[in-house]
Structure 1
Amino acid sequence: MVRMSAEERRESVIRAAMSEFAHGGYNGTSTEAIARRVGVSQPYLFRLFPNKQAIFLAASQYCIATTTEVFTEAAKGLPVEERLGAMATAYQKLIHDDPERLLMQMQTYVAVAAAEAEGDREFGEAVRRAWQELWDAVHIELGADVDETTQFLAYGMLVNTLVCLGYPAGHRNWEGFYESARPE
C-alpha cells in the first residue's frame, strides 16, 4: 500500500470536503462526514485544518482556483477573439462533468453571505481574493476587455442559475444563448 504525503492527504480532504459541502452546505455538513469520506479520523482532520471554516475555505478556494485553471487552459494559444468561446465551452464541459463543482460554487456564495450577516468579514475577504484571481485571469485572457469579462462572468452566473434550478436545455430561458448561433 502506497502512503500519501501530507500534501496529498490534505488535497484529498479538500476534494472530499468540496463534495460534502456541495450537497450539505456549510451548516449541513459535519466534519465527521468529511473525515469518513477520506478515511481519516476527525482528530487527523483537525491536524490538517484548524476548524471547519478553514476546511470550507480551502474547498472554496480549490474550487475557484481549479475553475480558473480550466479557463486559462482553454484560452491557451488561441487568438484573443477565439478565447471567449473556448472558455465558455470548457466551463460547460466542467459543470456537466463535475456538477458538484457548480454546487460548491453556489454554497460558497451562500456561506459568505451568511458569515458576513453574522459579522465575519474575514471569511468573505479570503473568498473574494480567490474570486478576484478568477476575474483577473478571465480579464487577461479576454484581452483586458472589461465589457467582455463582465459579460462572460454574467452569462456564467446565468448558466449556474439555470442549471441549479434544473431548466432543461430546450427551455425558453436558454434562448438567449442560442441567438448568436442562429442563421441570419
Structure 2
Amino acid sequence: MARMSAEERRESVIRAAMHEFARGGYHGTSTEAIAKRVGVSQPYLFRLFPNKQAIFQAASERCLKDMREHFATAVEGLHGEAAHQAMANAYTRLITEDPDKLQMQLQMYVAVAAAEAAGDHEFGEAVRSGWMELWDTAHLPLGGNPEETTVFMAYGMLINVLAAMGFPFEHRVWEGFYPSARVTGRLEV
C-alpha cells in the first residue's frame, strides 16, 4: 500500500472534518473524532493544521468550493432559464446525494454568527468571501441580473431549511418549487 503524501493526508482531514463538523458543529466536534476518522493521531493533525479553527475554516472553504464547482459544471455553455434549471437540479442532487454538504453549510452559518457575536470577524470575512464567489458563479449565467440571482439564492436557502427540517420530497411544502417532485419523489425542475 502506497504511503500518502502530506497533501493527500491534508485532503483526507478536510473531507473527514466536513463529515464530523456537518454532524456536530464547531463546538460539538472534537479534533479527536476527526483524527480517528482519518486514522491519524491528534498531534499529526496539528502538524497539518495549527488548530481546530483552521480545520473548520478549511472544511468551510472546501464546502463552498465544491458547491461552486457543481454550479459551474452544471451551467457550462448555458445561460438564462436553462442555466437556472441546470444549477437548481445540480444543487438539489448535491444536497440529496451528499447531505454533509447541506449540514456543513448550516454549521458554517451558525459558526459565523457565533464568531461575529464574539467580535471575531476574520472567519466571517472568509466565509462571506467564499459565499460571494458562489453568488458570482450563479450570477453571470443568470444574465448578470441581481434580482434573478437573489431569487435563485433565496430559493436555495429555503431548500436548505426545508431539507434540514426533514420534509420529505413528497410533502406538499415542495409543490411550489417543483410541481413534479411529488410525483417523482425527486427535486428535479
Q: Does the pair score TM above 0.5?
A: yes
- The residue aligned with 2:92 is 92
- The residue aligned with 1:45 is 45
Q: Are the counterparts in 1 of residues 79 and 142 from structure 2 also a CA contact under 8 Å?
A: no
Mark the runs of 5 or more structure 2 residues left unpaired by the alignment. 182-189
- The residue aligned with 1:62 is 62
Q: In 1, Cα distance between the equivalents of 2:129 and 2:156?
A: 19
How does 1:98-117 map onto structure 2 within 5 Å?
98-117=98-117
Q: Which runs of 4+ in 1 moved over 3 A?
A: 178-181
Amino acid of the structure 1 residue aligned with 2:163: V
Q: Are the counterparts in 2 of residues 72 and 141 from structure 1 also a CA contact under 8 Å?
A: no
CA spacing shift, 1:161–1:113, aligned 2, 3 Å: same
Q: In 2, Cα distance between the equivalents of 1:58 and 1:103?
A: 15
Task: Return 112-121 or 14-23, whichever deviates more.
Answer: 112-121
Q: Are the counterparts in 2 of residues 16 and 37 from structure 1 also a CA contact under 8 Å?
A: yes
Q: In 1, Cα distance between the equivalents of 2:149 and 2:11?
A: 30
Give CA-to-partner distance per residue, 1:43-68, whole Å, 9 cap, x none: 11111111100100000010001101
- The residue aligned with 1:2 is 2
Q: In 2, Cα distance between the equivalents of 1:166 and 1:152?
A: 21
- Give the structure-1-normalised TM-score: 0.94
Amino acid of the structure 2 residue aligned with 1:101: K
Amino acid of the structure 2 residue aligned with 1:83: A
Kindly indicate which of the two structures has a greater share of residues assigned to helix: 1
Give CA-to-partner distance per residue, 1:159-178, whole Å, 9 cap, x none: 00000001122323222113
Identity %, equivalent residues: 67
Task: Return 167-176 or 111-120, whichever deviates more.
Answer: 167-176
Give the secondary structure class of the aligned counterpart of 1:176. coil
RMSD: 1.4
What is the CA-CA distance between 1:179 and the residue it aligns to? 5.7
- Give the structure-2-normalised TM-score: 0.92
- The residue aligned with 1:11 is 11
Q: In 2, Cα distance between the equivalents of 1:158 and 1:38?
A: 33
CA spacing shift, 1:180–1:143, aligned 2, 3 Å: farther
